[in-house]
Chain A
Amino acid sequence: MLNSQKQNMERKDIEIISRHSNWTEKGIDKVLKEEVYSDSKSWKGFLNLLFISLGVGFTVSGIVFFFAFNWADLHKFTKMGLIEGLIILTTSVVLFSKLNLNVKNIILTGTSVLVGVLIAVFGQIYQTGANAYDFFLGWTLFISLWVIISNFPPLWLVFLTLVNTTFVLYSQQVASDWSEVFVFSSLFLFNSLVLVILHLLLKFRNDIKVPSWFTSILGFAAIIFSTIGIIIGIFDNHQSSFLLLILLSIVAYGAGIVYSFRTKNGFYLSLIPFSIIIIISSLLIKISEDAAMFFIVSLFIIASVTLLIKGLLDIQKKWNNGK
């Protein structure tokens, strides 16, 4: 009997060996199934998570659709009472049941969406308008306690999205004199600050775990905001706080690159230079919109991205050897 222990073969190993040997289909299939494919245990975990997420997701969206369906027969108190009842019901499940923590968190995330539905219905009854910023502000405030207590990354993501949305809507509806660059600078600053705090927490508190997809999404959002803000600033001369955004970006980008080198993280190392490449390209087009300039920009992008990839490959090699 061959050992049932895993060989730790990866898909790449199997591909390379199969390419230069007469390894049979049956043999490859066996090793793929043992070493690479999901086994019974991971399927069980995955299905559990899939079913509870889909269950909560579909049920909640079913309820959302039901309320979006503008049915006129119900009294306004019945409408709100129904959702409030549901919210109480689901929070009770979270509070008093013995389900596992992950499931409770998923249910709480669903409940947080229901709070938005409740406020939407409120807005519908009292005609506040569907996109009013106070709608999102209320939603954000009402779920913040749950967010902090559950400390569940997807719920944090919902929360941060709400904060950003509230801010954007506020800038459009109330503070319409704010410049676009200022709005993007603030969004950039806010998301970068959250990111910095997360990284500091990760460094100094061992008990706190932040999944990398979460920090990646946040970093990605922050860099998109700064890039768009700077491009707007480049093409529109009359924007306030453009200098501030540039300064902020220089500091943040610098910090991001230093951080990446220290932690051997390739994510910011590809994203930050790419943002700079796009910014320089728009600067070039701002200088001149001649045909020749477009030609130069095209060459510039090819050359700089190629250099960036070469740099990334070199750094990766160094990191791998230094292991």
Chain B
Amino acid sequence: MENDINIRKNIEYISKLEGNRFKFNENKIEKEYADSQKEKSSIAIKILSIIGGFLATLAFLGFLLIAGLYDSEAGLVITGSLFTGIAIWLNVEYKKLIIDTLSVSAYAIGLFLIVFGLTALDVGGITICILLILIALLTIGITKSYILSFISVLTINGCFIYLIIDNDVYGLIHVYDAILLVLLTYVFLNEAKLLADKRFPSKLYNPIRIGLMISLITGLVFVGQRGIFDFGIKHIWASSIITIPLTIYLISIIVKIIGITNTKLLYLIYTLSILFLIPTALSPAISGALLIILLSFLVNYKTGLVIGIISFIYFISQYYYDLNYTLLTKSIILFVSGIIFLLFYLFTHKKLRQNEKV
């Protein structure tokens, strides 16, 4: 089989690099290859299971609402726990893609029922959130499945956002953004470390990465502008204290990859980058989205790149509706940034070509 030859070739190559210390379990590797060949998941299949699961959840909640089956609070909590348990069990027992829709619906219905039941029992928001976070962590730990882990990461971050809004501590959204920014950058830049570390289940790498990315974008929406979601978040620029240095740090990595060593050139690059980033400090969402784009391209992660570009365009257009600056100010900032990029373009166009010739 073509596949087996490929595995051998790859293992031989790694053995050559690693030397005698390299030990591997060939049977397990071959088995996982065979399994992955049987069920090639695509992004379309993942989206189908998630959207299908949520539509089914909506229909089911509609059923409960119309049938009036929400009278017994304790009943709701118990049924909810049962559904969540079934979803987790399904994932542990059958590691197959086709049960994803079912387990997503069961999991979402379960969580909703638990929340409804506990709210009806007058349990406070903080307790419910802590409980949800615990359930989500447990789910990630037990199932290690792509879809449920992804939803759990979103649930955890959703709880934090809820807590921030419910307790009127909007300033903490900056802390939320800061933590996610650092975490996401760490996850992107330390792929090798996380894969090599046996304490970290490497199957969780992908769902956690995309989950963190979407949670971060949600957090950035709050600091995108002040027109639509006016929560009176003060010091909107505060998140930029994290986004800008991270972006500069990333630029220093990129510069190394491209192989620019000329000090003058480096100074110019950093000056132009800072010149562009400073005006975006007023809207940290923009530099945050730029960070996602650069990170995704760095590790060649296409889904991330597309999500990054879409959110970047979204945040730029959102910025238009920000009521705190006059259109003239915005116009000047955008225009100047545009010119800086055009300078960058002319500069990379010429300089990098020269570099190649040398």
Contact surface of A with B, Cβ cutoff 8 Å: 2, 7, 9, 11-32, 36-40, 43-44, 46-48, 50-52, 54-66, 68-71, 103, 266-267, 270, 274, 277-278, 281, 289-292, 294-295, 297-299, 301-302, 305-306, 308-310, 312-313, 316-317, 320
Contacts and interface: CB of A to CB of B under 8 A. Distances in A.
A291 B66 contact: yes
Contacts of B334: 58-59, 61-62, 65
Given A12-B36, A27-B18, A44-B348, A36 B102 contact: no
Interface string B320-343: 100000111011111111111110
Given A17-B29, A22-B23, A30 B17 contact: yes
Contact of B327 (A14, A27, A65): A65
A196 B326 CA distance: 46
B328 A66 contact: yes
A313 B45 contact: yes
B338 A65 contact: no
Identify which of B22, B44, B52, B259 gathers the most chain A CB atoms within 10 Å of its CB. Answer: B52
Interface in B22-63: 22-25, 28-29, 32-33, 36-40, 42, 44-45, 48-49, 51-53, 55-57, 59-60, 62-63
Identify which of A44, A60, A277 gathers the most chain B CB atoms within 10 Å of its CB. Answer: A44
A201 to B, nearest CB: 25
Interface of B: 6-7, 9-11, 13-14, 16-18, 21-25, 28-29, 32-33, 36-40, 42, 44-45, 48-49, 51-53, 55-57, 59-60, 62-63, 66-68, 97-102, 105, 191-193, 195-197, 202-203, 205, 254, 257-259, 293, 297-300, 316, 320, 326-328, 330-342, 344-345, 348-349, 352
B44 A51 contact: no
A298 B59 contact: yes
Identify which of B28, B101, B193, B197 gathers the most chain A CB atoms within 10 Å of its CB. Answer: B101
A309 B43 CA distance: 12
A23 B342 contact: no
A58 B49 CA distance: 38
A12 B205 CA distance: 12
Identify which of A26, A28, A266 gathers the most chain B CB atoms within 10 Å of its CB. Answer: A28
B348 A317 contact: no
Nearest to B28: A20
Given A302-B101, A313-B97, A65 B44 contact: no
B192 A29 contact: yes
A39 B23 contact: no
Given A20-B29, A59-B335, A298-B105, A38 B342 contact: no
B48 A270 contact: yes
B319 to A, nearest CB: 9
Given A13-B10, A37-B300, A65-B320, A309 B100 contact: yes
A313 B254 contact: no
B28 to A, nearest CB: 4
B258 A306 contact: no
A44 B45 CA distance: 33
B11 A17 contact: yes
Contacts of A21: 14, 22-25, 29
Nearest to A69: B327
A179 B44 CA distance: 33
Interface SS of A by simple majority: helix
Given A15-B202, A301-B55, A317-B40, 14 more contacts: A11-B300, A21-B23, A21-B24, A21-B25, A22-B21, A23-B14, A40-B259, A51-B341, A56-B338, A62-B335, A65-B330, A266-B44, A309-B49, A309-B100
Contacts of A12: 36
B299 A36 contact: yes
Contact of A55 (B9, B13, B37, B341): B341
A17 B257 contact: no
A25 B192 contact: yes
Nearest to A7: B13
A42 to B, nearest CB: 8
Given A24-B196, A312-B44, A16 B349 contact: no
Contacts of A50: 293
Contact of B332 (A22, A48, A62): A62
A96 to B, nearest CB: 17
B106 to A, nearest CB: 9
Nearest to A274: B48
Contacts of A30: 17
A48 B348 contact: yes
Nearest to B306: A213
A289 B191 CA distance: 50
B19 to A, nearest CB: 9
Nearest to A273: B48
24 contacts: A7-B9, A13-B7, A13-B10, A15-B195, A16-B33, A17-B29, A21-B14, A32-B191, A40-B259, A51-B344, A54-B341, A55-B344, A63-B331, A291-B68, A294-B66, A295-B67, A297-B59, A298-B105, A302-B52, A305-B48, A305-B52, A306-B102, A309-B45, A317-B38
Given A27-B14, A58-B337, A294-B60, A18 B195 contact: yes
B36 A16 contact: yes
Contacts of A316: 40, 42
A24 B139 CA distance: 29
Contacts of B44: 266-267, 270, 312
A47 B257 CA distance: 13
B28 A44 contact: no
Contacts of B316: 57, 61
A21 B338 CA distance: 49
Contacts of A26: 192
A56 B331 CA distance: 14
B23 to A, nearest CB: 5
Contacts of A38: 257, 297-300
Given A36-B300, A48-B348, A294-B62, A59 B338 contact: yes
A312 B341 CA distance: 44
Given A20-B25, A58-B337, A291-B66, A301 B32 contact: no
A70 B326 CA distance: 10
